[in-house]
Amino acid sequence: MKAIELREKYLQFFKEHGHKIIPSAPVIPENDPSVLFTTAGMQPLVPYLLGEKHPEGTRLTDYQKCLRTNDIDEVGDNRHLTYFEMLGNWSLGDYFKEESIAMSFEFLTKVLQIPVEKLSVTCFAGDEDAPRDMVTYEAWKKAGIPDERIYFYGKEDNWWIAGEEGPCGADTEMFLDTGKPACGPDCQPSCGCGKYVEIWNNVFMEFYKHKDGTYTKLKQKNVDTGLGLERVTMLLQGKETPYDTEIFAPIMKKLEELEKIDDIASRRIIAEHLRASMMIIVDGGRPSNVDRGYILRRLIRRMTRHLNKLQIDLAKLGEIIDLNIDTIQNLYPELHEKREEIKQVILEEKDKFMKTLSHGEKEFAKVIQRLKTEGKNVIDGETMFKLYETYGFPPEITVDLAKEEGFSVEKEKFAKLFKEHQEKSRMGSEQKFKGGLAEQNEVTTAYHTATHLLHQALRQVLGEHVHQNGSNITTERLRFDFTHPEKMTKEQIKEVENLVNEQIKRDLPVTCEEMNLEDAKKSGAIGLFENKYGDRVKVYTIGDFSKEICGGPHVTHTGELGIFKIKKEESSSAGVRRIKAVLLPKE
């Protein structure tokens, strides 16, 4: 079965079981400063897991574009990927454990036709925070998994949370027996020897973990599941690595044809990083020295380094990108639509990097020479940092080069120096990633409502030609781009500010109604009309002041917002102005 068929079968199956298919959110999260990339299917759904109503109902399914960078150094082996796709289904306070397990079992055994004998499952063993999960155990037994293939593990294995704080709960994981020999008498799903491979994770999200480590119950019991598309495709095809599936095979073959040096790890790094870069670029990411842009830069540079290492003619990179897009555009048609843009960004970054690479490699050779004469086999953090700062060497490249020389590196020291550097070069750059999800949610929710007030105030002061052109919220400020041909005057800025603050003082109720898009338009709601949430939309009304289409969440009363202050009004692009504004605590 091909990846595209697996995706279609999955979505179709859950549709038949009452789920609405929703589109994938971008791999670059919208209005969520707490993470650099979307790392799981549940992430864009956090407000709804916490109790916000989703316009499409309580049963949802989608494929989600995800990127995780924690294992970036491992890419090149036979399994780690940075970009991957997660298939998922959700119950937002609808079904819970039994029904979720029955559906997973049916999908695995009936639709994918995996023999029951090959399946093992794991359940939460229980501790002081939550009891042993006998409901899940019973549900698996009822489905047909015998006792000896049901395992109980503690929080390390059978509890899921994104990060340190947020919605969470016990989970149950499904494992496929690959048929490889057992590693010993104790071989079991948790041992990691490769005999058992995890294929699906169903999380029963009924708790919220707070910053202080305590748990409280959520308003509703949710189910959040995730199935890795690349991995399951590989297993269904009986392949050893994702690179052997149709997602990567054509590009791997092409690299083999073009290379002068044969190295499978390098080929994998090139194929993997190129796909990840394309997926970031297509969702709006651009290379830079901070945050998301820096990850993208690292991916492109490392890929380029390995092309160079295999002595592949870099003039062929455009061709390689084209092939890559052709290969996976059935999964992501947006790649084809933005083909030229993607190529341009990658090729430009490649050129920039090539200018510094040869200098850097010479410098690196000197460093190695010096260390060798000193009898050392570790590259210290300062040298790593110097290679980064002077030659634009991302840490992975130093790691790669070091490995080739039999050297190790002081990664932690580098990370420390790098962090200090970023903090200096962009004030507070790390700051916005601190603080938990709860705090993020409260503050960003307030900014979200403030954005609606600002939008309407601008229309009243400047005119109806004002439309939202972009919005971005962090825990420190809102940024709002809108159509307006000229610089705002001081008086206009003051007037807008006052108008927003008046609405805050009036403590207007914020209410939400669901309707179809046509009715929303007729009701006079403003906002982005593109079909982002499907046909059903939510319209948020703020007293008699504003009516806007939006996914939410919002505060319940404007009085919660504090004092609104515009910090900056500037040009964003031709015909588009940009406002940065903050909410200050009430005196």
Where does this chain bind ligand SER (CB under 6 A)?
A: 40-42, 88, 160, 201, 203, 224-226
CB of 203 vs ligand SER, minimal distance in Å: 5
Residue 430 to residue 449: CA distance in whole angstroms: 25
Output the furthest CA–CA distance in the chain (Å, rounded): 78
Please give the C-alpha separations between residue 164 and each of 87, 267, 283, 434, 441, in angstroms, as whole numbers.
Answer: 23, 35, 27, 11, 14
In whole angstroms, the minimum distance from the beta carbon of 193 to ligand SER comes to: 21
Q: Please, which residue, 215 or 294, has the CB nearer to ligand SER?
A: 215
Give phi and psi for 149, each to the nearest 5: -110, 20
d(CA 261, CA 334): 33
Give me the least distance between CB of 170 and ligand SER, in Å please.
12
Nearer to ligand SER, 230 or 548 (CB): 230
Give whichever of 24 and 201 is closer to ligand SER, judged by the CB atom: 201
Distances (CA, A) of 245 to 1, 62, 67, 75, 395: 10, 22, 19, 16, 29
In the bound state with ligand SER, the residue whose beta carbon lies nearer, of 17 and 536, is: 17
Residue 486, both tokens: 């000229």
Q: What is the CA angle 248-252-257, rounded to 5? A: 155
* Closest separation in Å from C-beta 18 to ligand SER: 19
- Name which of 42 and 317 has its Cβ closer to ligand SER: 42
Q: Measured at CB, which residue is nearest to ligand SER?
A: 226
Question: Residue 330 corresponds to which tokens in the numbers above?
Answer: 């059935």
Report in angstroms the alpha-carbon separations of 227 from 163, 491, 527. 19, 55, 34
Contacts of 269 (CB under 8 A, 6+ apart): 75, 76, 302, 303, 306
Q: Are strands 536-542 and 546-549 parallel, antiparallel or unpaired?
A: antiparallel
Could you tell me where the DSSP H helices lie in 72-196? Answer: 97-106, 134-143, 155-158
CB of 377 to ligand SER, least distance (A): 38
Q: Give the ranges where 219-290 is alpha helix by DSSP (H).
A: 229-236, 249-258, 264-282
Q: Which is nearer to ligand SER, 140 or 160 (CB)?
A: 160
Pick the closer one to ligand SER by CB: 29 or 394: 29
Q: Do residues 279 and 37 lie in contact, with contact meaning Cβ atoms separated by under 8 Å?
A: no
Least Cβ distance, residue 198 to ligand SER (angstroms): 9
Residue 26 CB contacts under 8 Å (≥ 6 apart), including other chains? 38, 65, 283, 284
Q: Which of 585, 509, 584 is nearest to 554 (CA)?
A: 509
Is the CB of 225 or the CB of 558 nearer to ligand SER? 225
Token output for 381:
């953090």
C-beta of 83 vs 540, nearer to ligand SER = 83
Q: Please, what is the minimum distance in Å from the beta carbon of residue 228 to ligand SER? A: 8
Closest CA to 125 of 149, 148, 156, 101: 156
Q: Which is nearer to ligand SER, 218 or 579 (CB)?
A: 218
Q: Which is closer to ligand SER, CB of 41 or CB of 47? A: 41
Q: Nearest 5°: CA angle at 553, between 551 and 558? A: 120
Q: What is the DSSP string of 394-420?
A: -HHHHHHHHHHTT-EE-HHHHHHHHHH
CB of 84 to ligand SER, least distance (A): 10
CA distance 11 to 20: 9
CB of 166 to ligand SER, least distance (A): 11
Residue 42 vs 335, nearer CB to ligand SER: 42
- Kindly state the smallest distance separating residue 90's Cβ from ligand SER, in Å: 9
Separation of alpha carbons 445 and 47, rounded Å? 10
In this structure, the number of other CB atoms found within 10 A of the CB of residue 71 comes to 12
Q: Which of 226/287 has CB closer to ligand SER?
A: 226
Q: Provide the H-helix boundaries in 475-529.
A: 490-505, 517-522
Q: Do 440 and 543 touch, CB atoms closer than 8 A?
A: no
